Amino acid sequence: MPETTVARSTTSYFLGAFAVTAFGLALGAWLGWRTTGTLSGAATLFFICLVLAVLEISLSFDNAIVNANKLKSMTPIWRRRFLTWGIVIAVFGMRIVFPLAIVAVAAHIGPLEALRLAAARPEEYARIMTDAHLPIAAFGGTFLMMVGLTYFFDQEKDVHWIVGLERNMARFATVEGIEIAVVLAFLLGFSELLDPAAQPVFLRAGLYGLLTFLAVEVLGGLIDATQRTLGEAAKGGLGAFLYLEVLDASFSFDGVIGAFALSQNLFVIAIGLGIGAMYVRSLTIMLVDRGTLTAYRYLEHGAFYSVFVLAVVMFAQVLFHIPEVVTGLGGATLIGLSLVSSIRHNRRNGCGTPSSEG
């Protein structure tokens, strides 16, 4: 590791992310002005891009930590490749190509046609997305709800933000499959409020969302098992590089799905998540260079509460319209409150060292 990196200021690590943020938010505002012709439209897309970036950063906080720990054991050349090639794969692969694939499948059109519609005929693209909103909401809402509930239904979880609620959820985690039961109850409950013709589509898409989450969990378990057998190959580079790319895909999946609760515009999603991915990359570099982590112990809690709220909102949107700005503001508020609580905890305990008490 170059010795000069130790003396770098915190701000210097994020200069590239700041530049991407300024460009991305300006592009989002321009897109809003171009599509609506109003200042309110420009401000709305500006705000949605900002909220998507915050959500991506919060949900990928663990990702940065895992990446940093793994990068320490990699050779310098493969470390640089991950921090350059890896960000290209992360931004353009998982945050552009993958959402486009979801849109294409949900709308029953080819990916090139979906991209062409998004770029040249946004009105037609929006109409197709509106028609496909029901299965997307069911699929995304189910996946997100599983992400949120699995975090809190964990009997080994001993750090609690909202203590009474989270301690009880951790206690009930001993009941096998309780989070699946809760999600299925939500699915059945909301389906009963739909027209009979729409119920099978809603339930089928929700079950696909549940199966997708379980498949991602199985993949994560296989990766964890494989990590123990990588040995020196992991330290060499290629094996660790592939491992980190798959891990990043698993971490970013919930953010990609959650983005549909805020916007169905492919370019808005790409801008917001791309900004967030740049901050995660910058944070990873800083953690590797310094070998330390400033602990914000409740930030994850706020992020996963916002994930659960987004899931409920996606279910509710099949019944009535909820403004995107309201949805984004709710998630941003939860994340902000958890950040404030984390800062207060760090000040009370001195130097921000995490403790085992909730």
31: number of Cβ within 10 Å? 20
Tokens 């964890």: give the residue. 224
pLDDT, tens digit (0-9, with 9 covering 90-100), for 231-247: 444 444 566 676 677 66
Q: What is the pLDDT of residues 116-166, one digit of tens each?
A: 877 777 667 656 666 677 887 888 788 878 878 888 888 878 878 888 888
Closest CA to 331 of 272, 281, 271, 279: 272
Give the pLDDT band (50/70/90) at residue 267.
confident
pTM: 0.64
Work out the number of other CB atoms within 10 angstroms of the CB of residue 165.
Answer: 12
Mean pLDDT, the chain, as a whole number?
Answer: 75
Return the C-alpha torsion angle 128, 134, 136, 142, nearest 10.
180
Closest CA to 32 of 55, 49, 54, 19: 49
pLDDT at 247: 62
> By the 8 A CB rule, do 160 and 298 touch?
no
| pLDDT value for 125 | 64
pLDDT tens digits, residue range 59-103? 666 566 567 666 766 777 777 777 777 777 777 776 677 666 766
CA distance 343 to 296: 7
Q: What is the pLDDT of residue 204?
A: 92
Q: Buried b / exposed e across 316-331, counting CB within 10 Å, b at 16+?
A: bbbeeeeebeebbebb
pLDDT tens figures, 8-60: 777 888 888 898 889 989 998 998 888 788 888 888 888 888 888 887 776 66
Residue 188 has pLDDT above 90, yes or no: yes
User: What is the C-alpha separation between 297 and 121, in angstroms, rounded?
Assistant: 45
Task: Give the start-to-end residue ranges of the domains of the chain.
Answer: 12-345
DSSP state of 352: T
Decide: 250 and 218 in contact? Cβ < 8 Å.
no
Q: 184 pLDDT band (50/70/90 cuts)?
A: very high
